[in-house]
Amino acid sequence: MPYYLRLCVAVLCIVAAHAAHAQFPLPAANAPPDPGTLFRNQCGTCHTLSANEPARQGPPLGGVFGRKAGIAPGFKYSAGFANVDFEWDAKHLDAWLTKPQTVIPGTVMVYSQANSATRHTIIDWLKEQH
């Protein structure tokens, strides 16, 4: 093999080896929003956290864990809530956020969240809000 051909092959091997070790940064994954932002984006249109904030379409959700369903001072609930007898806990909130009409028929809440991870992030965050 002629010298210049051996030289070309050697250079190509070095370039190929160097390129094989090159690391290209991966595109940044979209980080999930923090739970407070998730609450504001998913729930904040209709709900506040504090009863001291101006009322919206739904009751304030601060302190919802352990609160009897349908009992938030100053909020007028839909008729379906008249017959409920449970306190909000993770199980009830998960079912509620999945399909509210199955938990309390006649409710006017139209939001539902099919994504289990999103529901649980919101529920866990609400658990911390007193």
Query: What domains appear along the chain, each with residue ranges and CATH number?
Result: 33-127 (1.10.760.10)
Signed CA dihedral, 28, 34, 39, 41: sign only: negative
Structure confidence at residue 111 as a pLDDT band (50, 70, 90): very high
How many other CB atoms sit within 10 Å of the CB of residue 40? Answer: 14
Residue 22 pLDDT greater than 50, yes or no: no
Residue 79 pLDDT greater than 70, yes or no: yes
Average pLDDT over residues 78-98: 95
Structure confidence at residue 107 as a pLDDT band (50, 70, 90): very high
Structure confidence at residue 21 as a pLDDT band (50, 70, 90): very low
pLDDT value at position 54? Answer: 86
pLDDT value at position 19? Answer: 46
Helix runs in the chain, H state only? 3-21, 35-42, 90-98, 100-103, 116-127
Structure confidence at residue 30 as a pLDDT band (50, 70, 90): confident
Q: Is 49 helix (H, G, I), strand (E, B) or coil?
A: coil
